Structure 1
Amino acid sequence: MTDHDQELIDEWAQRFSEPSTGWSFASFEGKVRSENPPWSYTDLARRFLPAARSVLDLGTGGGEQLLGLAEVLPPDTHATEGWKPNVAVARAALAPHGIDLVAHSAERGEHLPYPDGRFDVVMSRHAAFDAADVARVLRPGGVFLTQQVDGRNLVDLSTVFGADPVYPDTTLEVCRQQVVDAGLVVEEAQEWSGSIRFADVATLLSYLRMMPWQLPGDFTVKRYASALLRLQQRAAPLTFTEVRFLLLARRR
């Protein structure tokens, strides 16, 4: 390994160790370029929120997406977040808007701390959900809107590190069946794949520190230095494949 390689590894390790909170990707403008699905999650939310009396946002991150809908949210709006670094961030961001945040993770098998039939709309953007629990807290006629990161997301990046997909069962087919089994009626279902490009390895690592589940469980920059250096040597931009799917369902 050359001195230059070691300098790169030290820089990357520093970049990857920077603290990450919230879900704002504004700092990547110009360094990360990605295609967009043919649908707009935000526009779909705006279709249902104005008539809603109560709303629950699952896995709100730092509250960024939810606050982007602030003008159409009812006073009775609640949110959950399961990733510990984001809980305090989201609570501080949402509290001034009267939005209560509860630390909760469907991925850990926790049930939603709300009574049956509590909400008109439940939303989940890139957050795990328990379909039966969602159906339980929805009122009759209530809407469930979710956009999910498919388990095959960035699988071509995972192979660079010799890793298998972490959530292979997170697919449109599987989640749609879970929603149907929970008693909801699916009104819309779409899936999409497109490219995402990173300017360099340093940018890639800054991006991935916000979603470490896309990396092997034992990942450190030093442990995977050889694979990262091979990426650095690519002549073309670092291009990988994103996969998303959308479900819109309603409780009978």
Structure 2
Amino acid sequence: MEEQLLERWRAEERDQPEGWDFSSLDDRMTESQEPWDLDAQYRQALGNAQHVLDMGTGGGEYLLRFADLLPADTTATEGWQPNISVAQRNLAPHGIEVIEYGAPDEDVDSVRMPFADDRFDLVLNRHESYSPHELARVIAPGGTVLTQQVGGDECAEIGGWFGQAAALPHVNFAQFREELQDAGFSAVDGAEHVGVYTFEDVAALLAYLQLVPWETPDDFSVDRYQDRLLDLHRRSSGGPITMTRKRFWLKGVRQ
């Protein structure tokens, strides 16, 4: 029985796919939805924008939801190497240049953004680290930053299961709001939300973890962690498994 489970779980192991798409888990995982409408916030912000930057565009999938509103001067950045060529392929037909750039989570001020001062009037950022000081440099006075972030201590349950503690506790609503204000932004709106991810079983959890490998120990695999996975399976009686989900969003205007 255990060997059959392990074989099933091994079948979930694969390289991270291109782009940023969780649709393969649609019937195996559910997640709480935050009470704000990020799409509506994007559309409102894009209404008057002329010079737009999308940070951490992934494969460009989310940005292209708003293709009808994007100005001619739209640029994107991506720092996750497997996604850069995907984003370039997806966004080039829309005249959007993709530039390789990413701010390290542990030291966001260590890498200068590859843009001139006052370059943009709107910066969009969905789940990408950023330097508030660099944003204040590249956003023109009166320009806007609109970001949604994943709480740095979400999925803390993984630490109990596999020994990987949450690595970014400083990524939270209160601190990010304060840092934007300190960098010269009026934080005009924002909120935070705590919900849950629910996976139908251990196999579904493993399928999810293949898409977010940074959430697990560097040596993570079914074979190396089979005892812990089997224990998790027993404790959940082979059924649903939940993890904490955290999101927050902020809108700031450069003074």
**Are 1:23 and 2:20 counterparts?**
yes
Shift of the alpha carbon at 1:217?
Answer: 2.8
**1:187-243 alpha-carbon deviations (Å, 9 max, x no partner):** 012111011111122221221111112112332222211111122221341111101
Report the equivalent of 2:192.
191
Residue 10 of structure 1: how far off its partner (Å):
3.6
Cross-structure match for 2:42: 45
Q: Deviations over 1:122-158 (max 9, x none)?
A: 0110111111111111011111011100011111233
Query: Aligned pairs, how many?
Result: 249
Q: CA deviation at 1:20?
A: 1.6
Aligned to 1:246: 249
**Whole-angstrom CA distance in 2 between matches of 1:29 and 1:207:** 11
Name the aligned partner's letter for residue 247 of structure 1: L
Quick one: which amino acid aligns to residue 49 of structure 2?
A: A
Does the CA-based 8 Å contact 1:158-1:214 persist in structure 2? no
Quick check: 206-215 or 98-107, which moved more?
206-215
Query: Is the 1:158–1:165 contact (alpha carbons within 8 Å) kept by the matching residues of 2?
Result: yes
Which digits, 9 at most, give the CA deviation of each residue in 1:109-130, with x for residues without a partner?
3221110111111011011111
8 A Cα contact 2:121 2:140, kept in partner: yes
- RMSD over aligned Cα atoms: 1.4
What SS is found at the alignment partner of 2:59?
coil
Deviation at 1:247, TM superposition (A): 0.8
Which residue identity is paired with 1:45?
Answer: Y
1:222 aligns to what SS in structure 2?
coil
- Asked if 1 retains the 8 angstrom alpha-carbon contact of 2:51 and 2:121, the reply is yes
Which residue number corresponds to residue 166 of structure 2?
Answer: 165
Preserved CA contact (<8 Å) 2:158 2:165: no
Q: Deviations over 1:2-37 (max 9, x none)?
A: xx3233324323422244221111221121111100
Q: Deviations over 1:162-188 (max 9, x none)?
A: 221011211112211221121111001
More helix by share: 1
Deviates more, 1:100-109 or 1:81-90: 100-109
Query: Secondary structure of the residue that 1:121 maps to in structure 2?
Result: strand
* Structure 2 residue aligned with 1:115: 116
State the TM-score, normalized to the length of structure 2: 0.93
What does 1:1-252 align with in structure 2 at a 5 Å threshold? 4-107=1-104, 109-233=110-234, 234-235=236-237, 236-252=239-255
* TM-score, length of structure 1 as denominator length: 0.94
- TM-fit CA distance, 1:160: 1.3
> Is the 8 Å Cα contact of residues 199 and 240 (structure 2) preserved in structure 1?
yes
After the TM superposition, list the runs of 4 or more consecutive aligned residues in structure 1 that deviate by more than 6 angstroms: none
SS of 2:90's equivalent? helix
Give the Cα separation in 2 of the matches to 1:116 and 1:203: 45
Any gaps of 5 or more consecutive residues in structure 2?
none
The SS at the match of 1:157 is: helix
Letter in 2 for 1:148: Q
Letter of the structure 2 residue corresponding to residue 248 of structure 1: K
| TM-superposed deviation, 1:71 | 1.0
